[in-house]
């Protein structure tokens, strides 16, 4: 197929390098092979993975579970540890179902369980504090709380006196029965309960992760 010179519009042979009429160099457009497809960057995952854990998913599940377990811990104190352990176990199971593409080692179960424990402790601490305020000021049952605290302090003083007769039991008893001492005793009790909640939630998370991993290995075999 003949071409046209870009300068003088004379007819030029297809393989000619110069125009025979004006001598202008000719421009040739050679067909190119199909270009390689431009890689399209993959969409970012909806979950931000850090330390092997999809934290947005883990946080959402932990908040929902903690609200339930924290409320049950506040209302049903005798079974609080079972609620916390079961709540951490449930959170791990829900997380494993929502993120099957992520492995679930024991350390991930410990971290998620610890998150559930911290959130549950916060909910339980808030619920217990509100309950005490309502009981004392709204229901006017402050005497009931004081009686319970006095009984706890008296029993502890009796045990301490039997173990060490020389201990200043009377001084300690008068302090713990003062308004400041009773407030401190309530705070210590709540702090102790929070530590128990955290430890049992971590244990529940670790157990659930280990169980899920064992099931995954069994299914692979």
What burial class does residue 109 get, using C-beta atoms within 10 Å of its C-beta: 0-12 exposed, 13-18 middle, 19+ buried? Answer: buried
What burial class does residue 152 get, using C-beta atoms within 10 Å of its C-beta: 0-12 exposed, 13-18 middle, 19+ buried? Answer: middle
The tokens of 141 are what? Answer: 């049952």
Dist CA 153 CA 172 (whole Å): 9
Dist CA 106 CA 102 (whole Å): 13
pLDDT number for residue 28: 65
126-174: per-residue pLDDT in tens? 998 998 889 888 988 888 888 888 898 888 888 888 888 787 888 888 8
Average pLDDT over residues 173-182: 88
46-90: per-residue pLDDT in tens? 456 777 889 999 999 999 999 999 988 887 665 667 889 999 999
């Amino acid at each position: 197929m003949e071409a046209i010179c870009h300068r003088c519009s004379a007819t030029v042979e297809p393989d000619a390098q110069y125009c025979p009429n004006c001598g202008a160099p000719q421009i040739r457009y050679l067909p190119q092979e199909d270009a390689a497809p431009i890689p399209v960057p993959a969409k970012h995952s909806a979950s931000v993975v850090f330390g092997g854990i999809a934290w947005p998913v883990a946080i959402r599940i932990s908040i929902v579970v903690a609200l339930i377990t924290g409320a049950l811990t506040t209302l049903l104190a005798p079974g609080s540890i079972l609620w916390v352990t079961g709540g951490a176990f449930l959170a791990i199971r829900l997380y494993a179902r929502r993120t099957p593409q992520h492995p679930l080692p024991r350390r991930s179960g410990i971290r998620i369980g610890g998150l559930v424990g911290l959130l549950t402790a916060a909910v339980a601490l808030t619920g217990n504090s509100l309950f005490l305020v309502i009981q004392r000021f709204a229901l006017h049952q402050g005497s009931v709380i004081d009686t319970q605290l006095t009984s706890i302090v008296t029993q502890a003083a009796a045990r301490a006196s039997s173990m060490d007769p020389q201990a200043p039991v009377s001084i300690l008893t008068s302090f713990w029965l003062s308004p400041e001492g009773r407030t401190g005793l309530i705070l210590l009790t709540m702090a102790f309960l929070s530590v128990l909640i955290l430890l049992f939630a971590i244990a529940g998370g670790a157990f659930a992760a280990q169980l899920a991993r064992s099931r995954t290995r069994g299914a692979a075999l």
